[in-house]
Amino acid sequence: MRIRIVDAFTDRPFAGNPAGVLLLDGDGFPADGWLQDVAMEVNHAETAFAHRLPAGGDADWALRWFTPVTEVAMCGHATLATAHVLHTTGTHEGPVRFATRSGVLVATPAADGAITLDFPTAPLTPVAVPDGVAEALGAEPVAAFDTGANVGDLLVELADEKTVRGLAPDHKALAAYSARGIIATARADDPARGYDYLSRCFFPNVGIDEDPVTGSAHTALAPHWSARLGRPDLTGLQASPRTGLVRTGLRGERTLLTGRAVTVIEGELYAGPDA
């Protein structure tokens, strides 16, 4: 089987968020243990596994995502990476519908190479800032929100861009406050630099201290910042060391995530599920 490493939410190699992508033969998924072993071997934030579905259904491909330690309910960058592989290899033309644990997710390519994902908008619920979060994060949040089951994070707004960029959290301590981790965000100091808000994402509960660029987090960031800034269409910068840009479009119960991707590595996977 061919396996690829794709950098997502970037237009250049060695930036954005790398994901493993494996298009499977047959009409089902191999055993979960093998999928987890492959994801552990790839050792990126997520590895995506997809197989083709019969024609005429609600979706074209079935899709699952694994971190090196567990399966996750939703992943934006690995979905973008999978759509990129399908389109650049000629395996699928036009919009592709993925059947996932988060429902049917659609990825639509544009003529310029960008891909737009149609994801469910995260339901934000204001919550009191939990005791200890400021100490674990290293900064005092000005507001906090639960992001619902699909995302599974605590979203915290911080005072300014400098505070977000300067975070050096205690990752072990952060694990106590949500199912997956913490999204830290602030308004951009200068939107003329090409982004309206920025974020950093820390996911200790799924084995990722800091995620480079997180599509799923932007389904929560989009409604938060669209409400704050009064516009449905925005651009978010994830200020990890690799960095990446996500264009967000709030459409009620759906959020559009637009970005680019670059295939960096392509190789042969010899250790198949029957090995």
| Active-site option among 41, 46, 135, 268 | 46
Annotated active-site residue 46? The verdict is: yes
216 residue type, one letter: S
CA distance 167 to 170: 10
DSSP states along 159-217:
S-HHHHHT----HHHHGGGSSSEEEEEEE-S-GGGS-SEEEEEEEGGGTEEEES--TTT
DSSP states along 175-191:
GGGSSSEEEEEEE-S-G
Instruction: Tell how far CA 52 is from the center of its chain.
Output: 22
Burial, 253: exposed, middle or buried (Cβ in 10 Å; 0-12, 13-18, 19+)?
exposed
CA distance 130 to 113: 42
State the Cα angle at 46 between 206 and 180, rounded to 5°. 25
Which residues participate in catalysis according to the annotation?
46
